[in-house]
Amino acid sequence: MCGIAGLHLRNPDLFPHLGALLQGMLIQAAGRGNDSAGVGLYADPAGLPEGIATVSALYDARPAPEAAKAVELIGRSLGPVAAERAGQTTVFTATASPLALEAAVREALPEAVVISAGHSLTVLKGTGEPAELAQAWNLAARSGWQGVAHTRMATESAVTPGGSHPFSVGPDQCLIHNGSFSNHETLRKELAALGVGFDSLNDTEVGARYIAHRLAAGADMREALTDLTKHFDGFYTLLVSSASSFAIVRDAIACKPAIVAETPDLVAVASEYRYLTGMPGIDNALIFEPNPEVVYVWERSEVQQPSSTLPALV
Amino acid sequence: MKNPEGAHAIAVGLDQAIDVLVEGHVGYFAAGMNEQATVTITGNAGQGVAENMMSGRVHVKGSASQSAGATAHGGLLIIDGDATARCGISMKGADIVVGGSVGHMSAFMAQAGRLVICGDAGDGLGDSIYEARLYVKGQVSSLGADCIEKEMRPEHLTELAELLALAGRPEQPGEFRRYGSARQLYNFHIDNVDAY
């Protein structure tokens, strides 16, 4: 069992509150899993320095300044590298391509596992109580235009920071999963034969690798998820995000819960309604449960201009 | 009760003839195992509302999530909005009236009782159904194994009129079609031996 939560904000007035809203959802979601948790936060591109890359990594024990120096030494062409320690995750930023920063992190910190690389995405994950992890990440103070959160009760693989969700294996992509894939070993072999590498034995990582592989081949989000429903067996509610989109899909049986609330200001996805009670405008939201094997996609292009119609946040 | 904010297991296991009004949305298993009580929920209900109800009346004024009225033995469940997947799964004698539509695999293995759907039904309606009677006003996406459309006889129109009246619905019995078991799965057929 796992808990899923996600926010796709359409109203820029809400961007400063992303972390606080997501933390409220994450703590409710702990009721469906509390052995580990993770979040993926998408910074508003408008507020980002030009050409910035962000790379998150696990399993490196050294303090952030030391880790940043080590990455800087390896990647001399990167320029200054900043590092922030957030719980069990270290987040590196530099003015560089995400690929170059990722390569430097991998080379400088051989023990580290890279858990995300992109322009606007920061992934934070770890083992422990979700509420304590949220504190360690300083989640409530973080901003952004889109975010996903996951609480895990592991069934298919070990409870480790690397086995927690989201899985981010393509640029600015995140996948979180409630359920279990039953044919993931077969698909892992098929993807490996195409040259796809894996960081864990987790079934969800196979789904994330599959989607990244399809997106890299030119598919759009809707096509990639439709293809996934044809190849993956098992139980799943998947929430998938990228720098431009936010999508949800459930398996044909649809026994893993999902509920969507949509307002002019936001789209929120949750495993249970109670995660949504703190959303601004929830009383007048369109609330529905996604149908089985129907891919729902929301695009960033629909993000609005700032408005003054929003109820004030407490 | 006011503003339960989606909390689970509200008004579960009531066994007295009392009235309970819940103003707001509830989470999983609200009014589960109800016996005699009348429970009204003004908002939406999560998974398994009125599951295993024995008697009494549960009225959801919003919509309900999956498995509404699952295994319910008796009583009346009214959902003014939609119900999603598996509404009335394995129902054993309860009556369920849904003002909107139901999702896939509703009335799966439904044994007894009546399920009235004023909107549409999703895929696999009445799969492996026993003796429950299903009434649908709208479209049925597809019927499940061993579920067929059946003749609407006068006694069916009468019982449907009673159910619609109990639920305060404006629909007329003549607008509905009846579905039930073809009774082809009750006994082993030697023609199917190759399937095993």
Active site residue A174: no
Provide mean pLDDT across the span A152-171.
92
pLDDT higher than threshold 60 for residue B28 = yes
A residues 189..228 contacting B (CB < 8 A)? none
Q: Domain count of chain A?
A: 2
Which has more pLDDT, B193 or B82?
B82
pLDDT higher than threshold 80 for residue A305 = no
pLDDT higher than threshold 90 for residue B192 = no
- Domain shared by A254 and A297, yes or no: yes
d(CA A299, CA A301): 5
- Domain shared by A134 and A106, yes or no: no
d(CA A169, CA A225): 15
**What token pair was written down for B27?**
């989470």
% of chain A at pLDDT higher than 90:
88
A189 Cβ contact partners less than 8 Å away, ≥ 6 residues apart: none
Q: Domain residues for A63?
A: 49-119
Domains and CATH numbers, chain B: 19-184 (2.160.20.60)
pLDDT higher than threshold 50 for residue A309 = no
- Domain shared by A254 and A276, yes or no: yes
**What token pair was written down for A28?**
């409710």
How many Å lie between the alpha carbon of B28 and the closest alpha carbon of chain A? 9
pLDDT of residue A308: 40
Q: A64, A90, A119: which is the final residue of a domain? A: A119
d(CA A230, CA A207): 12
Identify the CA nearest to A215 among candidates A258, A155, A270, A173. A173
**Residue A272 near chain B (CB below 8 Å):** yes
Provide mean pLDDT across the span B131-138.
98
Q: Locate the chain A residue with the closest alpha carbon to B62.
A: A287
- Domain shared by A89 and A237, yes or no: no
Identify the CA nearest to A147 among candidates A286, A38, A34. A38
Which of A259-286 are b and which e, b meaning 16 or more Cβ less than 10 Å from the residue's Cβ? bbbbbebbbbbbbbbbbbbbbbbbeebe
Q: Which residue has tokens 């808990």?
A: A3
CA terminus-to-terminus distance, chain A:
32
Q: Give domain status of residue A6, yes or no.
A: yes
pLDDT of residue A102: 96
Contacts with A257 from chain B: Cβ below 8 Å: 47, 65-66
Provide mean pLDDT across the span A156-161.
88
> What CATH number has the domain bearing residue A6?
3.60.20.10
Q: Which of A1, A2, A34, A57 is catalytic?
A: A2
Provide mean pLDDT across the span B19-38.
98
Q: Give domain status of residue A308, yes or no.
A: no
d(CA B88, CA B129): 11
Q: Give domain status of residue A204, yes or no.
A: yes
E strand or H helix at A36, and its extent? strand A36-42
Which has more pLDDT, A311 or A158?
A158
Provide mean pLDDT across the span A64-83.
93
Provide mean pLDDT across the span B143-166.
98
Provide mean pLDDT across the span A165-184.
96
pLDDT of residue A302: 67
Cα radius of gyration rounded to whole Å, chain B: 16
- Domain shared by A43 and A55, yes or no: no
pLDDT higher than threshold 70 for residue A159 = yes
On average, the pLDDT of chain A sits at: 93
E strands, chain B, where?
19-22, 38-41, 57-60, 76-79, 92-98, 112-117, 133-136, 147-150, 177-181
**pLDDT tens digits, one per residue of A109-130:** 999 999 999 999 999 999 999 9
Q: What are phi and psi of A9, to 5 degrees?
A: -90, 135
Of A254, A272, A291, the CB nearest to B6: A272
Burial of B170 (0-12, 13-18, 19+ CB in 10 A): exposed
pLDDT of residue A307: 46
Cβ contact B66–A277 (<8 Å)? no
Q: Locate the chain B residue with the closest alpha carbon to A254.
A: B85
Q: Which residue has tokens 């999508």?
A: A247
pLDDT band at B190 (very low <50, low <70, confident <90, very high): confident
pLDDT of residue A287: 94
Q: Locate the chain B residue with the closest alpha carbon to A275.
A: B6
Cβ contact A274–B27 (<8 Å)? yes
A137 SS3 class: helix
